[in-house]
Structure 1
Amino acid sequence: MTTVTLHATGPLPPEEVWERYAEPARWPTWAPQITGVQVPVGRLAAGVTGRVRGPAGVTLPFVVESVDEAARRWSWTVTAGPVRVHLLHWVSQGPDAGSTTGLRVSGPLPVVVGYVPLAQLAINRLVRPLDRGHAASRE
Structure 2
Amino acid sequence: MTRGSDAARTRTRVERTPDGRRVVVARAVEAPASAAWDVLTDTRTWSAWGPSVSAVRGPDRIGPGATGEVRIAGLGAWVPFEVTAYDDEAMRWTWAVARVPATGHRVDALGDGRCRAAFEVPLLAAAYVPVCRRALSAIARLAERKV
TM-score bucket of the superposed structures, by smaller chain = 0.7 to 0.9
Matched, 1:8 2:8: no
Query: Aligned to 1:17, what secondary structure does the other structure show?
Result: helix
Shift of 1:58: 2.6
In the TM superposition, what whole-angstrom CA distance separates every residue of 1:59-96 from its partner, at most 9, and x where no partner exists?
Answer: 2211101211122111111127xxx2322111111364
User: Which residue of structure 1 lines up, in the alignment, with residue 72 of structure 2?
Assistant: 54
Q: Stretches of 4+ moved more than 4 A in 1? A: none
Instruction: Name the CA shift for 1:7/1:50 in 2 (closer, same or farther; >3 Å).
Output: same
Q: Which moved more, 1:64-73 or 1:120-129?
A: 120-129
For 1:87 and 1:28, the matched residues in 2 are separated by 16
Flag the structure with more relative contact order, 1 or 2, with Cα contacts below 8 A and sequence separation at least 6: 1
What amino acid does structure 2 have at the position aligned with 1:20? V
Give identity over the alignment, percent.
28
1:94 aligns with 2:110: yes
Match of 1:126 in 2: 139
TM-score, normalised to structure 2's length? 0.73
State the Cα distance separating 1:97 from its structure 2 match.
1.9
Structure with greater helix share of residues? 1
Q: What's the TM-score, normalizing by structure 1?
A: 0.77
Q: Distance in 2 between matches of 1:33 and 1:43?
A: 19
* Contact 1:100/1:127, CA 8 A, preserved across alignment: no
Larger % of strand: which? 2
The CA RMSD measured in Å over matched residues stands at 2.4
In structure 2, distance between residues paired with 1:98 and 1:31 = 21
* Equivalent position amino acid for 1:117 in 2: P
CA gap of 1:29–1:8, structure 2 versus 1, over 3 A, is same
